[in-house]
Structures are given as C-alpha cells and as structure tokens.
Structure 1
Amino acid sequence: TAKGYDLARLFVEEGESAKTEHRPVLQEMLAFCQREKGRIDALIFPKIDRFARYTEDYHHLKRTLRECGVRIESIDERFDDSPAGRFLESMLAATAQFDNDVRSERTYNGMKEAVTQGRWVFKAPFGFRNIRSQGKATMEPDPENVPLVTAIFERFARGTWTVAEIGEWTRTQGVSIGTTSLYRMIRNKAYIGIIEAFGMEVRGEPPMIPIISESLFYAAQNGLRRVQMPETIRRENPHFPLRGTVRCLCGKALTAGWSHGRSAKYAYYRCRRCSQTNLRREAVEIAFARFLSAIRAELPLDEAAVASLYRQADADRALLVEQRKRFEQELDRLGRLQKALILKTVEGVIPDEMAAQQLREFESAMRELRAKLAEPNASSAEPAIEKVVEFSRMFLNKVDEIWLCASFEVKQHIQRVLFPAGATLSFKGNARTAKGPALTGLRDVSFAGSFRLVDLSEESAHRDVTDSAHESRSLSAQIELMKRLHREFGYMKDSI
C-alpha cells in the first residue's frame, strides 16, 4: 500500500448495517485479530460510519482492538494518536451517530405520518403482502393465503381447537405457523383493517382492506379464552353466582367448588387463604338473600330524596328552556347581522372579499345553533320521575326475592350494581375475630339489619349473623341509586 502496509486479510461486509456490533463479518474480524494478536498492526476502513454508527460502539471496538495491539485508520478521514487527533476522531464518531439519529428520526416520523394516512409500512403479516400503491408502501390481501387465514379464525371461534392443534392443522395445509405466530395473528387487528402503531388505532385505507369480519375476529378471541380457561375454573360458573362478590374477612374473594361424599357431591364456598372459611353454598346464598332484604330498612328512599329528585328534574327542565331561549336569540341576532352585511356589500361599503369571509363565519355559527336547536330535548330521553320512584321502591322491596329467582346473569348484574367492591362474610366460631359474624357491603353501599346465616349441614348449629350499623346514604346518593336501578333493571318491571 501507499504506507508500505502488507495486507493480512480483507473483510467485506455486504448488506449489513453499522448500527450494531453483532455483525457476522465484524465478529469474524475481531476473532481474527485476537488470534493474530501481536502480528496485526492496523485495521483500515473507508469511513468511521462504515465501522460503527454509535460513539459507544466505536470506542468499545477501538478498545477491544487496542488490547490486541491493533490501531484503527480511516481512508477518507485523517486523524492520529495526538490529543488533537483523538479529539477529531471523537468528533467524527459523534458526527456518525448524529447522522444516524437524524436518519432514524426522519424514518420514524415518516412511518408515523404514513400510518395516520392509513398505510401499512411494516412487514406484512401472514395473509397480506407488501406492495407499493401510487409509489408509496402499504399492503394488500394475498389471495393465495386469505382462505387459510379465514379458516384459522373460524377454528379459533369454535372454542374447541387449541392453539397447538391449529398449528398442526396448518402444517397439513402446506404452511407451518408456530404457536407464537398464531397468538400474534389472533390478536392482530390488521386482519379487520385496523393499524395499531405509535400509540394510535387507524383504519387502513385501500388497498389495505379487512380479510375477516369484526364479528369473526372477536369471536376468535372469545373462543381462545374458552379453550385456555376450562369450565371448571371459570369465575362465571352458574353453580356459584356469588363467587367473586363475597369475600372472606381476610379480604380475599371466596372461590367455590364441589366436595364428593359417598353418594353425592356438595357445593361449598371457600377461602384459599383461611382454611376455616369453608361454607355450604346453600347457607351462604340464603344469608346473602336475607342480607339483601336488609337494604329495605337502610334505603327507604325517603320522601326527602323523592322531593329532591322532583326539584332536580324541574331545575333541569328550566335550564334547558333557558338555554334554548339563548340559542334562539343568538340565531336571530346573527340573521340580522347577515342581512345588514349583505346590504352594506351591495352598497359598496364593505369589499366583496371581506364580506364573503364574514358571511361564511356567520353561516357556520348559524348551522351550529340550528343543529343544537334540532337536538332532542335531553329531558325527553329521561324516564318520568314517577316511574323511576315507583320502580326503585318496588325493586328494593323485593330485591331478595328477585335475586333468588333470577338467572345466573341477572344475579351477577344485581351483585355488580349493589356491591361494586364485594361483600365481606364472617361467622361465629372463627378464631380470628371476637366479633359477632357479619355480612356487610363495602364501598358505595351501606345498610343495616339483622338475619341468621343457616348452615344446612346436620351436624352444625345455627350461626347468628348481624351486620354493623352504617349511616344512611346521602340524598344525592339515593337519587343516583334510584336512577341507576331504573336504568339497569327497568326492563324487569312487568315480571316483578
């Protein structure tokens, strides 16, 4: 060479980015220098950014080579081992990283902008293929694989195929899709035409169109959950409606299950943490129903709450009337201004261009006001106050009977509305507490009353159950409760 070097070996790196140290040819070169330690004097490359794109990578590689007795040189960039040379070398390495960072930022922003336009700029998932439409990257369905994708989602939706079985089935179709890829596929909204990227959900634009329907996509999610969570361990078990609502004194939600006797099996609610909490299902559910009846004493929906509800409704109606009056007055004012502006324009007082701009603004404001006036009266959508009060009282007076006779789904709905944070159960004979046993609602529901928790087993005596006293709900809470009961359960009026 021009410097009198003898070439020991030439390493050629093709199609590899200098953004990482983990490049096969680079690692091969480092291994060669370590083997030939003491016999290699210099490593020469075209430019620093062809060797490393990040300053920390550059200095780490330089240190590794120096330990092997190898210095580095650049063909296009001149630097030496003097203080000024090392400074220049560091600046060149930093410049390479800066250039890389700028490119990365531009790429990121470009991809983000493309996503907001509904274009797919990543590797196409199975069933799609990457294309360029009008010179821009996106993807479209792959006709060859669309039927297979549909068949995969249909098998998931049935709820009887496991992921492993579907993976095995795909191999019989000539395509091998692994378990991990199937999990990604079943949750990828690209199959229903939605791009999830950069914290956004954007509807894809043609030629990116859905392969399957949204109903099939979500049915597949539910089917996968059914396979992963067998009936025996699901919370939504119709044999145990209180599971997930009733809690042990320790704070843990009770689980439930069956105990097998010699000739029959028996249902129990249990606490996984406290071995003493092991109660027959019938005892807990009868106690819970009696507990519901205690709500009538604590939530009488007194006349003060009813009167307040009427006053609130009257105030809401008055507010709406006043608001509508203001809208009409403003619409009339804008109309008069519009006519006056047109007259001044005809007379040549106001330039046409300025008048056109103002007329557009007036028309826009008038459209908004007309739309607000055309909206249905908000109070008209509300049920009559008399119906809300009547139904709420009727529902609470019979809530225990309703719960006992209701379907599993309705029972769960009642529990979620009245006991959003669950209900806590305790009983006599529990060594962890000296208090009398109680079943009490937690947050958002307070009530008082007394009842007995009856253990139906022949060997057990009756256990007294009383709840602790709570303050009455505020008027606003009673009003909100009445509205919610009517909203959630009003459809049951004819059957109560």
Structure 2
Amino acid sequence: MQVADLYVRVSTDEQTKGYSPRSQEAVLRQYCQLRNITVRHVFVEDYTAKHFNRPEWRKIMVILRKQRNKTDLLLFTKWDRFSRNTSDAYQMIDVLKKLGVEPQAVEQPLDLTIPENKMMLAIYLTAPEIENDRRGLNTKAGIRQAKKEGRYMGKAPRGYINKAYEDGRRYITFKEPEASIMRWVFNEVAEGLYSSESIMKQANERGLNIDKNTFYLSLRNPVYCGKIRVAATNDELAHLVQGLHEPLISEALFYKVQDIMDGRSKILKGLAIATPKDLPLRNFIKCNRCPRMLTGSASKGRNTYRVYYHCRSSCGIRYKAKDVNNAFMDELTTLLPRAGYPELFVASIAEAYTNQHRAIKEESDELIRQIGEANRKIDNARELLLLHELEANEYRKIKEENGSTIARLEMRLNEVNVQKSTHVNIKKLAQMAINALCEVDKLYDIASTEAKRYLVGILFPEKMTYAEGVCRTGKLNRAAELIYLENKELRAKKMGQKSRLKTLPHKGWNMGLEPTTS
C-alpha cells in the first residue's frame, strides 16, 4: 500500500479561515480513500508559491530527508498549489524524485515517465506563473497611477499613520508625538550645528525609536514636504508630484536639508548634543601636540571627581576643566561691544536693512537668470534629440539634472519673494540684539550646557587653542564679526569715513540671542 503526504496551500492567512483549505484536504483524502493510499501527514500552508522558501514546505523537506523512502507520494490538488515558478518547480521535482517521492496533482494528473506529459506539465506550471506576472504588472501600474494622483502607497513613514475613509480609500495623516519629533529633526539638521547622529540620538531619547538607516532614509523622503516620488520607467523620467496628504515641513526646509546632506551647503561643524555640564568646550579645543580635538572626562579622587579636558591620543595633553572654562570666559569678555558701539551698531544695521532690498532684488534677478539658463539647456537638449544628435537616455539625464536644479532655484526664489514683502521694525530688533550681546558673557554663564555649545559653535566655527592659562579663539563667524564690529568697514565708519558696507547677511540673525522674526 502506498503512503502519501498531503499538501494544502493558500496564498494568505485570511484564506486559511475560509473554505479553501478544508475543501482541498477533503478532495485529497477522498482521492487517497478511493485508491487505498495511506495518509501520513497533512501540511497546510498560507504562503506564496513564487518560491519554495515557505515555512511548511521547509518542514516537509526536513521530514522527507530524515524519513527517506517512507513516503511514496506528495499530493496536492493542482500544480499551482505546488509552485507558480516554472524553473523552481522543475528543480524541486528532481529533488523529490531523488528522495523517492513522486509529486502529483490529483485534479491535473500526469505520468511524468511519459515524455509527452512533460509538455503538459510545462503548461500547468507556466500558466500560473504568467497569471502571477500579469497580476504583478497590473498592480504596479495601479500603484504608479495612484502615486501620480498624489496618494501615498505603502506603510506610512515615521510621523505619519495609515488610515482609511468610510469608502475604503486609504490616506496618511500625522501621528503624534512622532510628527513633532520629525519636524524638530528636520529643523535641527537644517540648522547645521549638530551632527546628524547626535540629532538621531536626541530624537530617540524623545521617543522616536528609529535606527540609523531608517533615520537617513527619512531625511531623504520628500513625503515630509508633501511630495510623492514617482520612479522612472523606460518611457518616463522619475519625478515628484504634489501629494494629497498634509506636509509636515516646508519644501524650502526639505531642500535645505538635502543641500546639507549632499555637501552643497556650507554648515557649521557637526557637534554632539549631549555633553557633561562641566565640559561645555569638549571637541572645540585643538590639541597643541597633535591634530586631534580635546575630549573630556572625570577621574575620581579621594573625596570627589576631578574633571579634565584631555587628548584621545598618547600625547599627554591634559588640562583642568575649571581652568579652561574660566580662560574661555575671560576671552569671551574681550568680545563685548565697546562704549559707543551699540549706537553705531543699530545705525549700521538700519542702513544695511534699507539697502538690503536692493540686494534681494539682485538675488531675485540672478535666480531668474539661472532658472532660464537651466530651461534653455533642456530646450537645447530636446532640439538635439529631435535632430537625432543626442541619445534618448542622455536627454533624460540632462532633463532630470536640470529639472532638479530648477526646483531648488524656484524654492529659493519663493523665499526671496517672501523677504521682499516682509518689513520689520529693524531698529527695535537691533537694539534688543545689541542689549543681549553686551551681556553675552553673563548669558553664557547662566545658560544650559546645550545652549553654551550652541553659542560657541555659532561664534567660533574654527577651533580654539589653550596654553599657559589663556584660551585663544580662532576666526569669528562672519555674522559675529559684523555684530561685534570687528571688521574694517565699521571701524572706518566710526572714524567718520563713508562706509563701503552696503548690506549685511540677512541670515545673520539666527544667533538665538534675540526674538525669532519672520
């Protein structure tokens, strides 16, 4: 009497709760009963047949190898229950034959010892594979069209959650507190002061719970600025479309982050956010004996801990943290505006702000020129394509590169246009700023460790040195030079000469020492 194992398969877990598994098993048991075949095991699978890397199928192969020649048949209802991949199916049939097992579909029986039946087997195996491929193409086409219409497909990114309307249409919306944390992440990366890894760690402490790879992929995801990425095909270039969901951040902020990550935007040195309160200058001070930066740590004495700045190498550089911190405070006091400078500062800022509109107009004209130049490159490439002097793939590459450039320039142009229409009481803001800067040493003294490091990073993009009890700072940030009146133009103006300084950088206000303005 022959012995058989029964294999029942459906594609999804939901189908296991329906009638199909029981129906298949009933057909197989009836087949065995009519032919006096003994049923040994029944395996029920809820997995795809595109490959044989299936949980239950792996169990079958383990049992068949351990109990070789104890099973004569492996029965299933149809060949598409066995496999929907022709090449894999032929290989698995050979493996089963070597184990002394004959696979057979009871509703599509074939005697594989007859050569002509192999043609029928090919039809039985190929038809489901073709059906799978066609269904896959239709699904991809539907997903692509949905993306073109602005719908986000797939699992929602961090900060969003998948939901559905009453009619079944799905959409994504904000999920708090993840949305607020991701908004904070983009703003911090765009600020350029802290390293991305430090920002990620801080975000995880706030409850984001994200790994490094997902974090960097999220920063590249245009979904956060309300765009949906449509992948390239043979007939169409990759492009972005306006999504139906609400954006978490502005397009300007998203592209600013992309520029920073791509190295197109010069940013401040990436710093660690978290640092001990007694070591606010850690990684800001250069070692005097090697190219490394000084780190910091505490060593335990008899009764208390002693904190030091020291080098990571074996060069032996080591300073008491208290001495270095006090020396930096002394250096910071030398930057305070001298008597008479606050009034000059306010007057100079007011004059620069008045002239700034001309600089903004010049920048606007330059952006328009660059956009026009990029459009001309695309037009020229199109003409060369029509004249068969340029390959289609080369044209697509030129169009994609210049299209990305145009998008960035248009975003910047929108920012400039907003600045054109923005008017503030500049004298009042400048007076508030200079009042704060006149007491920057006191502000630094009472600030939190994070705020201290932010201020140091803003003021001194170049690292400092410490020797013989004196902390020497490098070149000041350009905006800081202007604010502290260190440059020649403002010194000349104090002496009664005409200032050659027409405009001040309009982004020089993000110092954190005065109220945020639009």
TM range (shorter): 0.3 to 0.5
TM-score (normalised: structure 2): 0.42
